Amino acid sequence: MPGEATRSIAPKFDNSYARDLEGLYVEWQPSAAPAPQLVAINEALGEKLGFDLGASSTEQMAAILSGKQLPDGARPLAQAYAGHQFGGLSPQLGDGRAVLLGEIIGLDGGRLDIQLKGSGRTPFSRSGDGKATLGPMLREYLMSEAMHALGVPTTRALAVTTTGEQVLRDRPLPGAVLARVAASHIRVGTFEFFALRRDEEKLRRLADYSIARHYPELAERDDKYLAFFDAVVEAQASLLAKWMLVGFVHGVMNTDNMTISGETIDYGPCAFLDHYDPNAVFSSIDRGGRYAYANQPVIAQWNLTRFAETLIPLIGDDAEEARRQLMNVIDSYPNRYLQHWLGGMRSKLGLLTDQDGDLELVNGLYDVMTDQNVDFTLVFRRMSGVLRGDSGPVRTLFSNPEKLASWMARYERRQFLEALPRSVRADGMDRVNPIYIPRNQKVEEVLAIAVENGDFVPFKNFMKALSKPFSERPELEVYTKLPPTGAPAHVTFCGT
Ligand code: AMP
Ligand code: MG
Q: For the segment 457-492, what is each residue's pLDDT rounded down to a tens digit? A: 999 999 999 999 999 999 999 999 988 776 777 887
* pLDDT tens-digit map of 193-238: 999 999 999 999 999 999 999 999 999 999 999 999 999 999 999 9
Bridge partners of 283, per DSSP, are 492
Q: CB neighbours of 330 closer than 8 A, spacing ≥ 6? A: 233, 301, 304, 305, 308
**Is residue 282 within 8 Å of 270, Cβ to Cβ?**
yes
Q: What is the pLDDT of residue 494?
A: 55
Looking at the predicted structure, is the pLDDT value of residue 56 above 90?
A: no
* pLDDT tens-digit map of 403-421: 999 999 999 999 999 999 9
User: Which ligand ends up closest to the CA of 96?
Assistant: 1
Residues with CB under 6 A from ligand 1: 93-97, 124-125, 128-131, 257, 266, 268, 496
C-alpha 174 to ligand 2 mean position (Å): 21
C-alpha 19 to ligand 2 mean position (Å): 24
Read off the pLDDT of each residue in 55-61 and give the average, rounded to a whole number.
Answer: 89
Read off the pLDDT of each residue in 76-102 and give the average, rounded to a whole number.
Answer: 98
Return the percentage of the chain with pLDDT > 70, whole number.
98
Which of 256, 264, 286, 496 has most ligand 1 atoms within 8 Å of CB, for mutation? 496
- How far is it, in rounded angstroms, from Cα 264 to Cα 182? 9
User: Which ligand ends up closest to the CA of 124?
Assistant: 1
Read off the pLDDT of each residue in 333-358 and give the average, rounded to a whole number.
Answer: 98
C-alpha 103 to ligand 2 mean position (Å): 20
Q: Catalytic: which of 113, 256, 358, 430?
A: 256
Residue with CA closest to ligand 1 atom 22: 96
| Secondary structure letter of residue 14 according to DSSP | -
- How far is it, in rounded angstroms, from Cα 116 to Cα 16? 17
**174-196: buried (b, 16+ CB within 10 Å) or exposed (e) per residue?**
bbbbbbbbbbbbbbbbbbbbbbe
Q: What is the pTM of this model?
A: 0.97
Which ligand 1 atom is nearest residue 494's CA? 2
User: Which ligand ends up closest to the CA of 85?
Assistant: 1
C-alpha 116 to ligand 1 mean position (Å): 13
User: Which ligand ends up closest to the CA of 126?
Assistant: 1
Residue with CA closest to ligand 1 atom 23: 96
HSE, side-chain direction, 13 A CA sphere, residue 82:
18
- How far is it, in rounded angstroms, from Cα 424 to Cα 62? 46
The confidence band for 6, taking pLDDT boundaries of 50, 70 and 90, is very low
Which of 93, 119, 173, 258 has most ligand 1 atoms within 8 Å of CB, for mutation? 93
End-to-end CA distance of the chain: 25
- Mean pLDDT estimate for the chain: 96
**Is residue 484 within 8 Å of 206, Cβ to Cβ?**
no
Looking at the predicted structure, is the pLDDT value of residue 305 above 50?
A: yes
Q: What is the pLDDT of residue 493?
A: 65
Which of 77, 95, 125 has most ligand 1 atoms within 8 Å of CB, for mutation? 125
Which ligand 1 atom is nearest residue 93's CA? 10
Question: Minimal CA–CA distance to 448: which of 434, 462, 465, 437?
Answer: 462
Q: What is the pLDDT of residue 484?
A: 77
Long-range contact pairs involving 353-358 (C-beta distance under 8 Å, separation at least 24) = 353/417, 353/418, 353/419, 355/414, 355/417, 357/414, 358/414
Looking at the predicted structure, is the pLDDT value of residue 373 above 70?
A: yes
- How far is it, in rounded angstroms, from Cα 228 to Cα 217? 10
Read off the pLDDT of each residue in 19-41 and give the average, rounded to a whole number.
Answer: 98
| Residue 371 annotated in active site | no
Read off the pLDDT of each residue in 147-168 and give the average, rounded to a whole number.
Answer: 98
C-alpha 189 to ligand 1 mean position (Å): 13
